[in-house]
Structure 1
Amino acid sequence: MVKVSQPKDLLQILLSVLFISVMIIACLWVVRPFVLGFAWAGTIVLATWPLMLKVQKLLWGKRSLAVLVMTLLLLMLFVIPVALLVNSLVDNSGPVIDWATKGNMELPKFDWLNTIPLVGDKLYAGWNALVDSGGSAIMAKIRPYIGTTTTWFLGQAIHVGSFLMHCGLMLLFSVLLYAKGETLGNGIRHFAFRLAGKRGDAAVLLAGQAIRAVALGVVVTALVQSVLGGVGLAIAGIPNATLLTVVMMLCCLVQIGPLLVLVPSIAWLYWTGDTTWGTVLLVWSCVVGTMDNVIRPVLIRMGADLPMILILSGVIGGLIAFGMIGLFIGPVLLAVSYRLISVWMHEAPAPQDDPNEVVEILEEQE
């Protein structure tokens, strides 16, 4: 007996897909305010999960005590320093805004140009001739852009409260993830396995390894370099050492390195005649500037066995594409894609034929 297949109800399929799409969009819209906080919490928990397990083992296997200790560590290492930094930037931005919004700004005279050997007199005369001839016109053209920039910074200050709220959400979600990490991890693996079988499960595990590798290799290295560099700046007597340390941290995260801040500081010390501390900071900068060549590969290997160029390309590209959270999104995407393509390639044996013979066969076929 021939079984007659029932015709597919096209309208039912379309309405089902439409309903599922609407539900997904609605759910994403509801959780949209919490996505950034949850993303940072997931990243931090994945990176520090082995540490949490060690703390739990030391505290007689009590998960609640381990979660409490990790929460206090996050509060001291992330939330409080960030809040103090934001508060300091907001408080110290007043004089800068007053200076930028005043209309009596004048171009500097740069008297120190006279001290440059051979060409100093010419540079000083040329600069002051430019200022005397068109200084007011130059400032008239520059002032609108300064006003626009100042307005932009004032607008960003409004988002300080939102940023602090995300820090609070990050702390809350971190507590929940530390407490129920295994359950959530198994749920994500189950969902990935339902989508793509073993490869989906492998993709989730690779994503976790890539996040841990970036957190250990890039963020920890940047933190160590910036802190040691900041200590050197403070001891050498560089003004605004705290602010320069923050700038150094950002430079290390984007893989520029700390020397972009340290070298001008060394030059300033020598320029002011403090050669002793300038030499000390020079030696210290050589140590801090080369530290990433030793620490970063070791830490990345501890997190995941991935090529260095893959991690660094993902960090820089992710940062440009997605902002700070892209530090982790970029390497995760590249690492998972790299491993999946590698597995797919190794499903077939590598070619063993002589390349010259292959070329000759192709030429004969033509």
Structure 2
Amino acid sequence: MQARPTVDLARIMLGVLALSLLIGGSLYILRPFLLALVWATMIVVATWPALDAVQRRLRGHRGPAVVVMLLALMVVIVLPIYGAVSTLAAHADEITTLVTGLPNYTLPPPPNWLASLPLVGARATREWQTLTDAGPGGVLATLQPYAVRVAGWLLARASAIGALVLHLLLTVFICGILYTKGEAAGRIVTRVAQCVAPENGAAMVRLVEHAIRGVALGVVVTALAQSALGGLGVWVAGVPYAGVLTAILFIFCLAQLGPLLPLLASVAWLFMHDARLAAILLLVWSIGVTALDNILRPILIRRAIALPMILILAGVLGGLLAFGMIGLFIGPVLLAVTYALMLAWIDTQEAARAADNAPAMPDTPRAANNPATHE
């Protein structure tokens, strides 16, 4: 009878404890840099093909290519975010005055063309007329306390410009390191994944890469396009504080709230000031800018990752609510990896069942029945 192997339980527990302490201590030491490291990783993974293209144009020189990419990050990412936040902070007094004065506004009567809209015209006219009949403020007086809280929260975050600039510069610095040593970092991550999952580790790393790239293209590029087009429409329509509204549009689009609410507020302001033609044109433009989200983002995301659109949206919105802005990337990545692992497990189980149900191959003839063996 074979003896059972002995298990040194104390040694295993001490090893697990030591490993947990090492991992926890390392994360605690890196805690001030973790958020910037995660953001830099997302940015580098998403823009790595651009780095390869720039490096090829510079005859294979990595150093100048890294400098070009960092300058591009400053122009494309750092400056728009800094501009949006600094614009909100610079107009903090005007925004606070506008929000606190909401109850003093009176909604004008509904325009005549609103009733002629198919399906929703009659109901929209009744709802508009109800708000008009409510007198000065109307429903705005009810919403004013909540609007003050939201505006105060946004302005409190926007006022920390110094911390934001430091965080952005740290992110760009880490991006430079990862651009320079990206291949080595990728090999280490792949080897670790293969140690954890020998069969699917490398595929999971590639899936994460594609998910990050797809979300970066779909979310960030769409937000930039919608905010730019929406801000252009607001500026052409003559709405004041077009720069502030563009910054708000960018934040709304990046947070997956869409540009419709700020644009509708601009349309309402134009109606209140009897600029009806401009208001109608801006309303049509706003509908087009809002619909751009449903066209551009799926195309960009599906170019990088084959994932159902409902999972992409759930990952973006759920990740945003669970982890904040960084959740825009973490959520879809987690769902993509989980979805791919589930499909791989289903394929493995189906292949195993097919192998079990396959008919058995006939046995080869015995040597005694083979005439060649009697020669």
Say if 1:319 and 1:325, in contact at 8 Å, map to a contact too. Answer: yes
Aligned residue runs from structure 1 range 105-184, under 5 A: 108-110=103-105, 127=135, 156=157, 159-184=160-185
Q: CA deviation at 1:77?
A: 1.6
Aligned residue runs from structure 1 range 267-306, under 5 A: 267-306=268-307
Gaps of 5+ in 2: 113-124, 355-375
- Identify the residue that residue 362 of structure 2 maps to in structure 1: none
Q: CA deviation at 1:43?
A: 0.7
Distance 1:259 1:277 in 2: 16
- Identify the residue that residue 356 of structure 1 maps to in structure 2: none
Say if 1:189 and 1:201, in contact at 8 Å, map to a contact too. Answer: yes
Are residue 219 (structure 1) and residue 230 (structure 2) matched? no
1:275–1:31 CA distance, 2 compared to 1 (3 A): same
Letter in 1 for 2:299: V
Distance 2:149 2:237 in 1: 36
Structure 1 length normalisation: TM-score?
A: 0.79
Letter in 2 for 1:334: L
- Identify the residue that residue 28 of structure 2 maps to in structure 1: 29
Distance 2:207 2:148 in 1: 47
Q: What is the RMSD of the two structures over their aligned residues, measured on CA atoms?
A: 3.6
Moved more, 23-32 or 234-243: 234-243
Q: CA deviation at 1:114?
A: 8.4
- Identify the residue that residue 133 of structure 1 maps to in structure 2: none
- Identify the residue that residue 42 of structure 1 maps to in structure 2: 41
1:290–1:18 CA distance, 2 compared to 1 (3 A): same
1:146-172 deviation digits (Å, cap 9, x = unpaired): 998898678646744332222111100
1:32–1:271 CA distance, 2 compared to 1 (3 A): same
Distance 2:130 2:191 in 1: 73
Moved more, 274-283 or 207-216: 274-283
Distance 1:129 1:349 in 2: 63
Q: CA deviation at 1:124?
A: 8.1
SS class of match (1:304)? coil
- Identify the residue that residue 202 of structure 2 maps to in structure 1: 201
Say if 1:45 and 1:174, in contact at 8 Å, map to a contact too. Answer: yes
Distance 2:217 2:147 in 1: 39
- Identify the residue that residue 70 of structure 1 maps to in structure 2: 69
Are residue 89 (structure 1) and residue 88 (structure 2) matched? yes
Say if 2:92 and 2:155, in contact at 8 Å, map to a contact too. Answer: no
Q: How many residues align?
A: 337
Distance 1:128 1:293 in 2: 37
Moved more, 60-69 or 14-23: 14-23
Distance 2:269 2:137 in 1: 26
Say if 2:231 and 2:245, in contact at 8 Å, map to a contact too. Answer: yes
Distance 1:70 1:34 in 2: 21
Q: CA deviation at 1:256?
A: 3.5
1:271-308 deviation digits (Å, cap 9, x = unpaired): 32223322332332233222223222221121112211
Gaps of 5+ in 1: 131-137, 353-366
Letter in 2 for 1:239: P
Q: CA deviation at 1:259?
A: 1.9
Are residue 345 (structure 1) and residue 334 (structure 2) matched? no
Q: CA deviation at 1:198?
A: 2.5
Distance 2:22 2:313 in 1: 37
Distance 2:286 2:130 in 1: 34
SS class of match (2:303)? helix
1:240-260 deviation digits (Å, cap 9, x = unpaired): 222222222233234332222
- Identify the residue that residue 325 of structure 2 maps to in structure 1: 324
1:229–1:165 CA distance, 2 compared to 1 (3 A): same
1:185-224 deviation digits (Å, cap 9, x = unpaired): 1110011101111212221111111111111122211211
Distance 2:342 2:189 in 1: 22
1:340–1:284 CA distance, 2 compared to 1 (3 A): same
Structure 2 length normalisation: TM-score?
A: 0.77
Letter in 2 for 1:43: M
- Identify the residue that residue 313 of structure 1 maps to in structure 2: 314
Are residue 54 (structure 1) and residue 23 (structure 2) matched? no
Distance 1:210 1:231 in 2: 31
- Identify the residue that residue 16 of structure 2 maps to in structure 1: 17
